[in-house]
Amino acid sequence: MMARWIFRIAGIYGLLVLVPLYFMENRLDPPPTHPEQYYGFLGVAVAWQLAYLVISTDPARYRLLMLPGIVSKVAWAGALAVLHAGGRVAADAFWIGQADWLLAALFAYAFWRSRPAAAAA
């Protein structure tokens, strides 16, 4: 039951954060130098939010999809940490991305909690 809520909240939160970015390219400072990468990133990220919503419908059935979900959160938060340490990302972007460490931990917890009953015994 907890896994349902973790993935549902993550998917809704992600959509609320990401979808407005489709309409903000011209407000970014500096503007993206490669709009195809900007919109490509957004498309993949939005697709993952939809995957989190699918996982929330039946965590036991979609349990293995939780693993790449964890990887996506760690990859983003980790990349921001490395880029920030090298002075290549602003502090506000770094701090906003740190929520993904929490989500990665919650996804890992949901993965562990949703293991089959026989394996849990």
Whether residue 40 lies inside any domain: the answer is yes
Whether residue 64 lies inside any domain: the answer is yes
pLDDT score recorded for residue 112 = 96
Whether residue 51 lies inside any domain: the answer is yes
Secondary-structure breakdown of the chain: helix, strand, coil percentages, each rounded to the nearest 5: 80, 0, 20
As for how many domains the chain has, the answer is 1
pLDDT by residue (tens digit) across 46-103? 999 999 999 999 999 999 999 999 999 999 999 999 999 999 999 998 998 899 999 9
CB atoms within 10 A of CB 9: 14
Whether residue 7 lies inside any domain: the answer is yes
pLDDT score recorded for residue 119 = 59
Q: How far apart are the first and last CA of the chain?
A: 18
> How many residues would you count in the chain?
121
Q: Could you tell me if 113 and 2 are in contact, meaning their C-beta atoms sit under 8 angstroms apart?
A: yes
pLDDT by residue (tens digit) across 9-50? 999 999 999 999 999 998 887 888 899 999 999 999 999 999
pLDDT score recorded for residue 120 = 57
Q: How does residue 1 score in pLDDT terms, banded at 50, 70 and 90?
A: confident
Whether residue 120 lies inside any domain: the answer is no
The domain containing residue 71 runs over which residues?
Answer: 2-26+33-115
pLDDT score recorded for residue 28 = 83
Whether residue 57 lies inside any domain: the answer is yes
